[in-house]
Amino acid sequence: MRILITGAAGFLGSHLTDRFLADGYHVIGMDNLITGSLDNIAHLEDEPRFEFVRHDVTQFIDVKGDLDGVLHFASPASPVDYLELPIQTLKVGSLGTHNALGLSLAKGARFLLASTSEVYGDPLVHPQPETYWGNVNPIGPRGVYDEAKRFAEAMTSAYHRFHGVDTRIVRIFNTYGPRMRPGDGRVVSNFIVQALLGQGLTVYGDGSQSRSFCYVSDEVEGIFRLFHANGHDPVNIGNPDEYTIGELAERIQAVLDPDAGVKYLPLPTDDPKVRKPDITRARTILGWEPLVSLQDGLSDTIAYFRSLHERNPLSPPPVITEAAEE
């Protein structure tokens, strides 16, 4: 089986590449490295079943030979990224998705879209099932990411209905683990880096907003199963255990620096107050649910960031003023 993974040098894309290679697939990884890093796939340099292509998927995609699958994971996916790269975010969700779907159609390949819990916006339904249509501000600062993914879902569904492409849509909830970028602006990486540097942890609002955190190995396993399952409707893949941002800060403080203070900043525009997946569909269709506890996942992630810091001292993470923690 031969597949293409766009965004393969990113945090999640690189782990997904590893998972498919472990199952015997031949993987073509594609990335323009705008937010990805070759460090994430350096361990695959001598892997004969992996080939890397540096390419911007908003341009026409040409892959020689047969393809059995296309997994579209190319996109800025953190507040820092999509606030600094708003046009690129919109283009990869629209033009990039169109090109990836066109390739799937031409090759007769199964297509899987990496969507996001952000399609639910600041939800008025809690937890969020796949049947919820969302509460999104299309012209707010977060709209470039939210609406890019909503458009990508609509495009994917249209290609399934009109062209008969065999499609899957995964709605990814907050994911963390090794290979996260230290300065990506996500709350887990922010807190860990700040604690390692002996700084106060930056909490937006009063810390009562909630998130659910899924360790990367669990997320990848759910996506892997979805690719091989039947059905075309979106599926939430995330951890239904819900924590406030304040609780997450306390857990990381307890491990790294119990004396670390907390700095409170204004809640950013359109920040979701709650986020928790309803994973009934994933349990039923995929037989999947997360296995890694927050304690164990944070332990592995902290060890990763500590090793980075020991090799090359980390810089303080950026302050987010127009987007919330992911």
Q: What sign has the CA pseudo-torsion 33, 39, 40, 41?
A: positive
Name the β-bridge partners of 201. Answer: 262
* DSSP characters over 196-207: HTTPPEEEETTS
Q: Choose, from 82, 120, 145, 176, the residue flagged as catalytic.
A: 145
CB 282 within 8 A of CB 237: yes
Widest Cα–Cα separation across the chain: 58
CA pair distance 326, 323, nearest whole angstrom = 9
CA pair distance 242, 79, nearest whole angstrom = 20
Name the β-bridge partners of 112. Answer: 71, 168
DSSP state for residue 59 in the 8-state scheme: S
CB 138 within 8 A of CB 194: no
Helices (H) and strands (E) in the chain, counts: 10, 13
Please name which of 80, 73, 301, 312 lies closest in space to residue 179, comparing C-alpha atoms.
301
* DSSP characters over 28-70: EEEE--SS--GGGGGGGTT-TTEEEEE--TTS-----S--SEE
Answer yes or no: 176 catalytic.
no
For every residue of 60-80, which 3-state class applies, written as one string? CCCCCCCCCEEEECCCCCCHH
Please report, in angstroms and rounded to a whole number, the separation of the first and last CA atoms in the chain.
Answer: 34
Residues taking part in catalysis: 145
